[in-house]
Structure 1
Amino acid sequence: MNWDSIIKSYQSYLKIERGLSKNTVENYSFDLERLLLFLSQNEIVVSPLKITDEIIQQFIYSVAKEVNPRSQARIISGLKSFFKYLVFEDYRDDDPMELIETPKTGRKLPDTLTVEEIDGLIQAIDLSSNEGERNRAMLETLYGCGLRVSELVTLKISDLFFEEGFIKITGKGNKQRLVPISDVTQKYILLYKNTVRIHLSIQKGFDDTLFLNRRGKQLTRAMIFTIIKNLAVTIDLNKTISPHTLRHSFATHLLENGADLRAIQLMLGHESITTTEIYVHLDRTFLTQVMNSFHPRK
């Protein structure tokens, strides 16, 4: 079996059996493309069923010269997933990634914004345009509900359960969760929906998509990044931010105001509490405040 056919089978497995998103499947595929490019450049002719751990180690050494440890770890993780699939499907008896170690990367703490900085971003939105009302509603939803950007752009009108105070989110692996939504966020969504969206010429297939571009289609992830980065420039915010920054700020502010870590995990849709702990990093000052407030020997 050659590389092309087995990679296509692997992609189908990721999408259908594991339920991974298109973006995740593309990332896994890109890791394999890098490996194939390495084999081609070094004139190494070997099938996916016969490639050895020595060849893969050579590839990883070459990657290490080009990317940081975090990116290297991601590539190794992608390759491990692929070869585990080959073993699982009985294409191979051995796993050439078994003894290959992932570099230690440490915990990278994402940037967070203060409440004042978030207010500044939202206040910088030009509300004289239709897109302004939409952008305000989107930023309020990102921050107010702690959504991933992919969850925001795919949010459906039929997912809004305002009377119950929740929205239904379809996250990674098509896993669904209910997230509370505040009256403030509801107000801005309804304002956009009833005064702006209602006048759009909506394209077929996007009738139920909440946030639309001016052509009546679903917004792209890149567009959300651009909107937020432009707002940061407008207010001279000296931080590198993205839609994910608002998600992280949502979690951090909840924790700092006394929310339970388990509750935050459920709202963010994290499978592991360890992932939530990375997001809601605590500075020593806050830890001291918690100790002084809640420990019986204070």
Structure 2
Amino acid sequence: MLSINKYLQHLEYEGKAFNTIETYRYHLIAFGAWLDEQKMPLRDLKPTHLLDFKEYLLQLQKSGRTVNGILSCVRNYFDYMILNEEVQFNPVSKLMKINVAPSSQRRLSDDELNNFSGYISTLPDHTKAAFHLMLGTGARVSEIVNLTKANFSFIDGALYINIEDAKWGSDRLIPVMLENSARIVADYVNALDVSSELAFKCSPRTLQRHASNFSQKTGIAFSCHVLRHTFATRLLENIVVWITCLDINI
């Protein structure tokens, strides 16, 4: 069986996000453990065996969405092994996908956002500034933790971050759109001595752990992704209000 670590390194070279790589690691290790239990050589796997694996996951009461994600990881892993001539065909059929209803995610309320702002005010300065930057830009966790002081700039009095080599290979110049967050981040960044070192000196896992702690303490359904979704939704709501105030017929 081709080394999982080699495949994960390949994903890293492709620029996959840290969370994506860790998800692949978790799912592929679980798949490997199942294979060991079945005493089934990888080269001998057929679609019927993967159907057994799918039913095994369902017996563990995994949701349809989770099962689809695991099978997708395994299918992509087999595609990589085909390219490396480890196997000749992919036994994970796309027909195994479970039809699930699209999920809807609500944004945080103003009270919940105020609650979160109070929570992060108790955190160390670098962590507090990182979360305020997420609040004010909607940037991904993986993008925030990779910023250096050189990625920050002031343009016409506004604080911007320059995200390089982002997801989908895009570069983006983003303003920090909340005044209080911009002030907190600017004070933190201006105090940094070296422009080439990582500004926040923390991993995505650290920020996600704080997000989970906040959720557990308050009972609020919260994650870093919810924060990003909230930023985008509030931005859209403000645009709608702005258009309405202009009294434009569309």
- Please state which band the TM-score falls in when normalised by the shorter chain: 0.7 to 0.9
SS across alignment from 1:168: strand
- Report how far residue 50 of structure 1 moved: 3.2
SS across alignment from 1:107: coil
Measured in 2, the distance between the counterparts of 1:26 and 1:224 equals 15
Shift in CA distance, 114/294, structure 1 to aligned 2, threshold 3 Å: farther
Name the residue aligned to 2:203: 220
Shift in CA distance, 26/139, structure 1 to aligned 2, threshold 3 Å: closer
Q: Given the alignment, which residue of 159, 163, 184 partners 2:155?
A: 163
Measured in 1, the distance between the counterparts of 2:214 and 2:28 equals 37
Name the residue aligned to 1:60: 54
* RMSD, aligned α-carbons: 3.3
Measured in 2, the distance between the counterparts of 1:23 and 1:125 equals 22
Q: Given the alignment, which residue of 186, 199, 222 partners 1:241?
A: 222
Q: Given the alignment, which residue of 13, 17, 20 partners 1:21?
A: 17
SS across alignment from 1:258: helix
- Report how far residue 142 of structure 1 moved: 0.7
Measured in 2, the distance between the counterparts of 1:246 and 1:34 equals 30
Pair 1:38-2:34 in alignment? yes
Q: Given the alignment, which residue of 146, 152, 172 partners 2:167?
A: 172
Name the residue aligned to 1:209: 198
Q: Is the 8 A contact 1:20 1:174 kept in 2?
A: no
- Report how far residue 251 of structure 1 moved: 0.5
Measured in 2, the distance between the counterparts of 1:23 and 1:183 equals 27
Q: Given the alignment, which residue of 139, 146, 149 partners 1:147?
A: 139
Q: Is the 8 A contact 1:111 1:240 kept in 2?
A: no
Query: Can you give the 5+ residue segments of structure 2 that lack an aligned partner in the other structure?
Result: none
Q: Is the 8 A contact 1:121 1:232 kept in 2?
A: no
Shift in CA distance, 9/141, structure 1 to aligned 2, threshold 3 Å: closer
- Report how far residue 14 of structure 1 moved: 2.2
Question: What is the TM-score with the length of structure 1 in the denominator?
Answer: 0.68
- Report how far residue 141 of structure 1 moved: 0.9
Pair 1:84-2:79 in alignment? yes
Shift in CA distance, 135/74, structure 1 to aligned 2, threshold 3 Å: same
Q: Given the alignment, which residue of 61, 66, 71 partners 1:71?
A: 66
- Report how far residue 169 of structure 1 moved: 1.8
Measured in 1, the distance between the counterparts of 2:190 and 2:94 equals 58
Q: Given the alignment, which residue of 8, 11, 16 partners 1:11?
A: 8
Q: Is the 8 A contact 1:162 1:186 kept in 2?
A: no
Q: Is the 8 A contact 1:157 1:209 kept in 2?
A: yes
Name the residue aligned to 2:97: 102
Name the residue aligned to 2:130: 138
Aligned residues: 242
Shift in CA distance, 74/228, structure 1 to aligned 2, threshold 3 Å: closer
Q: What CA deviation, in whole Å up to 9, does each residue of 1:85-139 have, x standing for no partner?
A: 2344554443212353211222222342123432332245546x8x2x4444333
The letter of the residue matching 1:34 is A
Q: What CA deviation, in whole Å up to 9, does each residue of 1:17-54 have, x standing for no partner?
A: x222344233223322222211211222x13x332111
The letter of the residue matching 2:176 is I
